Structure 1
């Protein structure tokens, strides 16, 4: 990745580029590559540089949860989304678009495992 060479692999701009690449992997069905990138590079880097409550962390967590759900691991997806919820709500509020998107992902994941009683 060009941003990695220019800024360093752990720079927030390089991490954003990696998140976008992971989303591309998701779209083309390369789910394991997306999971690896998000879980082991993007999320830890964003947390280290931006803090756990930043919307980029919420968005990347939602991307990881979608990937896990598509791989059939919906329960783990729910756990990731539950972990992201408290911080992002407190800092940005439920109306923030990244928080709202993560909450939609969480509801969808809970529906998949039948935890809403619907």
Structure 2
């Protein structure tokens, strides 16, 4: 009986550890979210970026200074690209497509 309890406890701890590992945001995802924030702030002006801000804040832990610098570069580059009239259609599609993960519900984005 004790052996079964130990096995169950070990399995629970192992699954909890894997859940935390699964929730860790990769550096690449962090950079994508930063790019999406740049697009959201420049393209529409009405998209609420608070959900991206919260995502980036939660994902900040254990990032190296190089990743923060690169994220700022991606943010600024996305803002620059979004100012170009000939790229707006493609970047709007990016904002409503892959970036919707960081913005919240897709229905909310479509209304904006």
Which structure is larger by alpha-carbon Rg, 1 or 2?
Answer: 2
Q: Is the TM value for this pair above 0.5?
A: no
TM-score by length of 1: 0.33
Asked which structure has the greater RCO (Cα within 8 Å, sep 6+), the reply is 2
